[in-house]
Chain A
Amino acid sequence: MTKKMILAVAMAAPLMIALPAAADGDHRAKAIAVIKKDFQPRGQAGLDRLAEDGVQAICNRTGNKPPDYIEKAMTADQLATVKYPADGKLLGDWKEGEKIAQSGRGFTWTDNPGLPVGGNCYNCHKIAPKETSFGTIGPSLYQFGKLRGNTAETQKYAYSKIWNAKAFNLCSEMPRFGHAGALNEKQVKDLVALLLDPESPVNK
């Protein structure tokens, strides 16, 4: 917690000088002070969650539009955090992937921290055509494999994107599921299969 906060502060200072003032720095500083004093821990949601990490700090300070040179450097750093399976196999079981994509549970103060966390994918994406209750914050992933091809390269991209969405788009609205400890290697593989396996309903 403190380490994260120190980092955020350490970065914020030089950045505010270097970047054009995208947002109102004075009100933001007040907002952060108010946030620090006006929350209480509940369930698994501790106050450490209020601290910004490096990516969050940059996105918050640039209105989600970091300059290209920062975007480039930091997405590369985020890509370096992705953990790939030791055996190099990235395609899991699409049926399991569908279950993970359906579940929106996890990480809230009412969730039992002992239970597995869901992927929330349908909250934001259209995926398999059978599920008509889907969100639209993210693009449609229907026919993802058909359109992109089930190649080693696409598998690696899909795996990396799900593990750490900020590795390709620094201020993406999509969470960093592997990086955040929400999903493990096997679960991410199962999701890759949901998107790319020719047998998956996504590609039928």
Chain B
Amino acid sequence: MKQNIIGALCALAVMGGASAQSPKKPVAKPSTKAAAAPAAEEKDAATLEFEKFRAEMEESNPAELFEMKGQEQWKAKRGPKNVSLAESCDLGQGVGKVEGAYVKMPRYFADADAVMDAERRIVWCMVEKQGFKFDDIAKQPFANETFTPDITNLVTYVATHSRNMKIAVPLDDPKVRDAYEVGKEIAAYRAGPYDFSCNTCHGTDGKRIRMQNLPNLSTPAGAIKGVQGWPGYRMTGGVMLTHQWRMGDCFRQQRFPQPKYASDAVAYLLTYMIGTANGQVYKGPGIKR
């Protein structure tokens, strides 16, 4: 069967130039757009429960707890080299400067010769400046019910210092622009047992999985929804989770294998997504369903 497809295709491809001009033959396709259900207005129990939870939480803002821990860890001398990130780590705004750094990443860092999102950059500093081992950090990079890694606190701390600032990923830097374009292709790449890509679920306006609204990541209005509130305190499980975690969990839903922690693939995807949200205001770490 497979041979069949290939044979036919290669043959077709060769005569492609001519066939492409041939009159359009109708292909039996059910009309999809017309039949699509309108976005339902009614909210399910889980949504209502979440909204209540968020209203309660916004008063106490659980992210603050992690931010405070992150601030301590940013300033403390730590790791085998016994230096602080405050005195060694450049997030793109100068050594130790956190103000506005989060909304200007991903960016290109010449010392690492890589495009890095905030989490990746902080990990790089922990390894290069403080002497931590990457593999130790990557072993358990995200929080669960009983454990929150330092990196999550640090990202939350840094993100807090971009609250109410405009997202400004430096897309005029050719290296960042290239990462953006590659990230866009990663988002469109269909594979796996279900033929899914990010765009299957996040490529059109107004779609839902069950009752969960799916932001259309290809538009500024949708992309900001995918950026807003991350890192976020998640009602499910009551844990603080980062944007890198969200990328990984969507690859899981996509039935893909797991993206490596703090890798190019994730950094490029984030460059595409956050870059698409450029110009819009980031409201800081938030609360997520």
User: Hey, which bits of chain A sit against chain B, CB under 8 A?
Assistant: 7, 10-11, 14-15, 17-20, 23-24, 27-28, 30-32, 34-35, 37-42, 45-47, 49-56, 58-60, 63, 67-75, 77, 80-81, 104, 107-110, 122-124, 126, 132-140, 166, 168-169, 173, 175-176, 180-182
Contacts and interface: CB of A to CB of B under 8 A. Distances in A.
A154 B260 CA distance: 45
B195 interface: yes
Nearest to A144: B35
Contacts of A30: 178, 182, 185
Given A54-B6, A81-B1, A175 B193 contact: yes
Interface in B138-194: 178, 181-186, 188-194
A122 B10 contact: no
Contacts of B193: 49, 107, 175, 180-182
Contact of A38 (B2, B24, B178, B263): B263
Nearest to A170: B27
A133 B210 CA distance: 5
A132 B263 contact: no
Contacts of A134: 37, 208, 210
B17 A18 contact: yes
A137 B27 contact: no
Nearest to A74: B5
A175 B182 CA distance: 25
Interface in B21-43: 22, 24-25, 27-32, 34-37, 39-40, 42
A40 B157 CA distance: 29
A73 B206 CA distance: 32
A77 B30 CA distance: 19
Contacts of A72: 25, 27
B27 A75 contact: yes
Given A11-B9, A38-B265, A108-B253, 15 more contacts: A15-B9, A31-B183, A45-B255, A54-B6, A67-B16, A69-B20, A70-B9, A72-B25, A74-B9, A77-B8, A81-B1, A139-B34, A140-B35, A169-B27, A175-B194
A139 B35 contact: yes
A63 to B, nearest CB: 7
Interface of B: 1-2, 4-6, 8-10, 12-14, 16-17, 19-20, 22, 24-25, 27-32, 34-37, 39-40, 42, 44, 178, 181-186, 188-197, 200-201, 206-211, 214, 252-253, 255-260, 263-266, 268
B266 A136 contact: no
A123 B36 contact: no
Contact of B2 (A7, A51, A124): A7
Contacts of B34: 139
Contacts of B256: 39, 45, 49-50
A169 B44 CA distance: 32
Contacts of A182: 193-194
B190 A56 contact: yes
A72 B24 CA distance: 11
18 contacts: A15-B13, A27-B185, A30-B182, A34-B186, A34-B265, A35-B186, A38-B264, A53-B2, A59-B195, A69-B22, A73-B9, A77-B4, A81-B1, A108-B255, A136-B36, A136-B206, A137-B207, A168-B29
Contacts of A80: 1, 4
B39 A59 contact: no
Given A49-B255, A70-B12, A35 B189 contact: yes
A59 B200 CA distance: 12
Contact of B19 (A63, A67, A108): A67
A49 to B, nearest CB: 4
Nearest to B258: A42
Given A38-B265, A50-B257, A68 B4 contact: no
Contacts of A81: 1
A173 B193 CA distance: 12
B185 A132 contact: no
A78 B188 CA distance: 22
